[in-house]
Amino acid sequence: MEIFATASSQITQRKLTQYKRASMLAQITVFYNLIEGMVSVFFGVEDETLSLLGFGIDSFVEVLSGIGIWNMVRQMRHNPDVSPGLFEKKALQITGTSFYILGASLLVTAGITLYQGHRPETTFWGIVIAVISIFTMWALIYFKVKVGKQLNSDAILEDANCTKACLCLSFTLLLASVGFELTGIGGIDSIGAVLIAIFSFREGRESFEKSRGESCDCDRSKSA
């Protein structure tokens, strides 16, 4: 009996450690997006770079989503069988609405800047921020998948899948920023903002689907 009790205690301790790691990853996601958002919005306004500005605002919306995941992981740590509560559903609905508003705003602004032939001063900081974000998102995806598999948690694995959308956004920002620096064509920055708007609409739709208890559409959007 002592052997079984010891084994059970070790399994419980291992799970608690894994939940702590999952919680830490959620916290890193929240704080990283907060800092990334502030830096991106600052340089987006300073350099008149629409794609970087949209990327930064998107990061702020991701913070709200990350807080919902953080709270969910905290609940799972104390009760692994708990289902997402009202807080998570409300957070997802607010997040989805914010993504829709962001997407619509970016589309309108991108249309205006394309019509006016606006050119940003530089997209250098867009390149720097995109590269940092790509490596950060890749690391977060890797460790979230690892912890999610260890805990056999669909919620954590789903969060890892949806982090791939952030990775796609980072690549979009990088391509738009490099494209402008190489060609000097201002429309490339606006096109990058349009692509970010499309990703925002997708993320908004997925947030509402998750709030209704439907599965994340991230894998499907990745293959689309």
CA distances from 25 to 82, 87, 141, 191 (A): 20, 20, 10, 32
**Dist. CA 217–CA 4, nearest whole Å:** 41
- Give all domains of the chain, ordered by start, each with its CATH number: 16-223 (1.20.1510)
Chain centre to alpha carbon of residue 17:
24
Q: What is the pLDDT of residues 124-179, one digit of tens each?
A: 999 999 999 999 999 999 998 988 888 776 667 767 776 787 888 899 999 999 99
pTM reported for the whole predicted model: 0.77
> What does the pLDDT average to over 90-99?
76
Residues 6+ away with beta carbon under 8 Å from 15: 80, 151
Q: What is the pLDDT of residues 25-70, one digit of tens each?
A: 888 989 999 999 999 999 999 998 989 998 998 888 778 777 877 8
